[in-house]
Copies of this chain bind each other. A is one copy, B any other.
Amino acid sequence: MRDAIFYQIFPDRFARSLSVPKSNHLDEWGSPPTYNGYQGGDLAGVAERLDYLRDLGVNAVYFTPVFQSASNHRYHTHDYEKVDPMLGGDAALRRLIDCAHARGMRVVLDGVFNHASRGFFQFHDILENGSDSAYLDWFNVSQFPLNAYHPDQPPNYQAWWNLPALPKFNIKCDAVREFLLSVAVRWIEFGIDGWRLDVANEIDDDGFWRAFRQRVRQANPDAYIVGEVWTDSEHWLQGDMWDAVMNYQFTRACVAYFIGDRVEKSELERTSLHPVGPKGAEAFAKSIQRLHGLYAPEVTAVMLNLLGSHDTARFVSLARGDFSALRLASLFQMTYPGAPSIYYGDEIGMQGGHDPANRGAFPWHKTDSWDVDLLRYFQRLTSLRTSRKALRRGSFRVLHAAGDVFAHARKLGDDVVVVIFNAGTSTQRLDLPVHDQAADGVELTDPWSHQGAQIDAGMIRGLELAPRSGTVLATRLNS
């Protein structure tokens, strides 16, 4: 995954294929998203759009859940052993994986292993049979009958956030462990390339996660295991449990610096990113350097670096529609160590606040709404990352951090990429020290404008940084 660029897809909202029979009771594609309504995206639709993703420059797709679920986000798993029929069922996933692999793209699925849903078979058995159920030890029940559908009472069983819809698995039960491990292996054997693990820190059982890693890696030694944790995650990233986490610490730093005081506070407060205060370049550098030192290099190299997800307002909406914030942050994301992840639609300028607004339908039906300049910009960024091994495998160093201006460098052998951000609203002039990156006389050029700058006495002198802009200067590629 050191070379991965992810694209995160919310399957109900990315693309619909005519090949998948659909219900008559769907919301219209592109209508304002609701908490419970389906718009009918499917995996065959994704397979049909893989060329778009290839052209965007991504080489890995991370899907929010795809298994049979009575919720449009599919986090309420009804059956872990079936792709949802509305998504096209197992056959559609088969085709998607095959088409993706044929293009060198990897597919990562979302595993919701902390809790099931009220409709999940073994929980349903307790709901139906009470203390006569054969599956009593699968969940922690305090009383019978279960009050799973009582509008006024808290659930009389352990549930995620005390939500009756989401009964928490009893991970101490051998049958539960074996079931979840078998699910993990089943889909790896089916052909997926890794698991994103929903609220993974809430399964407080290192033995389970070690067994998980062992079984998954046995089935596919290259499988990627990325946990959802919103805070520091050293505990799980020692090499015996997961490979990486969803890097929301990275997101926080980007919000603080690239959005700064432009942030839409009401939206920020509704995310688990909150609190995030605005930060200047120095504080940003501190956050990033801390984060960069937090994990072993092989972990940092595969962290899932994201600017947003189905669980946050879209980055540009957090920035009250300021696309410069998204451009700057994306440039940072694509030039920083780790696996960048683009939340579907960010690249064409989709906006949307807190769930459900951040889960709009991708406007294939309304291409005139696309921000084509932004899309080209994203394509340039992914192309830069893909063509520059230093951006994927090189060292990372902060070169400058003061006021509004931050600069860092990536270096692998003679290949050097320097990136400079001016997050402020006025033009800045800068002399940038690069003596530990390249020798005097080396020319660094902007890969797009081809404007060059010569290193002189360890410095690039006289850089002029337009307001809210990023600059890339790189050694010439040996081609």
Binding site for B on A (CB under 8 A): 21, 23-27, 34-38, 40, 68, 70-71, 76, 78-79, 81-82, 85-86, 117-119, 121, 124-125, 127-130, 132-137, 148-150, 165, 175, 178
CA distance in complex: A24, B119 (Å): 22
Would B79 and A125 count as touching, CB distance under 8 A?
Answer: no
CA distance in complex: A59, B133 (Å): 34
CA distance in complex: A68, B19 (Å): 29
CA distance in complex: A31, B38 (Å): 47
Q: List 24 A-B contacts (CB under 8 A).
A: A21-B178, A23-B175, A25-B134, A25-B136, A25-B137, A26-B134, A27-B132, A34-B132, A36-B129, A36-B132, A38-B134, A68-B121, A70-B121, A70-B125, A70-B128, A78-B121, A78-B124, A85-B121, A86-B134, A119-B121, A119-B128, A128-B165, A148-B149, A149-B149
CA distance in complex: A26, B70 (Å): 29
Asked, given contacts A24-B137, A149-B148, whether A119 binds B130 with beta carbons under 8 Å apart, the answer is no
A78 shortest CB reach to chain B, Å: 6
20 extra A-B contacts, CB within 8 A, seeds A36-B130, A149-B149: A21-B175, A23-B137, A25-B134, A25-B137, A26-B134, A36-B133, A38-B132, A38-B134, A40-B134, A68-B121, A70-B125, A70-B133, A78-B124, A79-B79, A81-B82, A118-B124, A118-B128, A119-B124, A119-B127, A148-B149
What residues on B are CB-neighbors of A86 within 8 Å? 134
What residues on B are CB-neighbors of A37 within 8 Å? 129, 132
What residues on B are CB-neighbors of A130 within 8 Å? 36
CA distance in complex: A286, B137 (Å): 57
What residues on B are CB-neighbors of A36 within 8 Å? 128-130, 132-133
What residues on B are CB-neighbors of A27 within 8 Å? 132
Nearest residue (CB) in B for A81 is B82
CA distance in complex: A130, B71 (Å): 11
Nearest residue (CB) in B for A129 is B36
What residues on B are CB-neighbors of A79 within 8 Å? 79, 121
CA distance in complex: A165, B127 (Å): 11
Would B128 and A76 count as touching, CB distance under 8 A?
Answer: yes
A137 shortest CB reach to chain B, Å: 6
CA distance in complex: A180, B404 (Å): 64
CA distance in complex: A81, B68 (Å): 13
Nearest residue (CB) in B for A136 is B25
Would B129 and A71 count as touching, CB distance under 8 A?
Answer: yes
One of B25, B40, B76, B128 near A71 (C-beta < 8 A): B128
A85 shortest CB reach to chain B, Å: 8
What residues on B are CB-neighbors of A119 within 8 Å? 119, 121, 124, 127-128
What residues on B are CB-neighbors of A121 within 8 Å? 68, 70, 78-79, 85, 119
What residues on B are CB-neighbors of A150 within 8 Å? 149
A146 shortest CB reach to chain B, Å: 9
A194 shortest CB reach to chain B, Å: 26
